[in-house]
Amino acid sequence: MSAGEKYVAAAYVVVLVAVLAYVAIIAAKLARFERELAELTELARSSRPDEAQPRRTLSVG
């Protein structure tokens, strides 16, 4: 590989690495959102115990 080819490869690799790093950061963020959402769902369930229980059917009349 000539020196010119190495520089060309380096320029394209830099952009590719930056895009991949960005995608990895977005993936990590999504995973954090998923965890937080699960925590908040749990928190919402525990703060409303009546809603968490299955409803009983009562006979009327």
Partner 1 sequence: MLLGGGVALAFLWAPEDGDQGISQRIFYIHVPVALTAYACFGWGAWKALRHLWTREERYDLESYTAIHQGTIFGLLTLVTGSIWARASWGVWWTWGERQLVLFLILFLFYSAYFMLRYSVDEGPGRANLSAVYALFGVALIPVSFLAIRLAEGFIHPTVFTRDGPQMTGTMFTAFLVCLAGVLALAAALYTNELTGKRLDGRLRELRELLS
- CA distances, 44 to each of 9, 49, 50, 51 (Å): 52, 9, 11, 10
Closest distance of CB 43 from partner 1, Å: 5
CA dihedral sign of residues 43, 47, 49, 51: negative
Residue type, 2: S
Candidates 24, 31, 40, 52: give the one binding partner 1 (CB under 8 A): 40
Candidates 10, 49, 50, 60: give the one binding partner 1 (CB under 8 A): 10
Does the footprint of partner 1 cover residue 28 (CB under 8 A)? no
- Of 13 and 56, nearer to partner 1 (C-beta) is 13
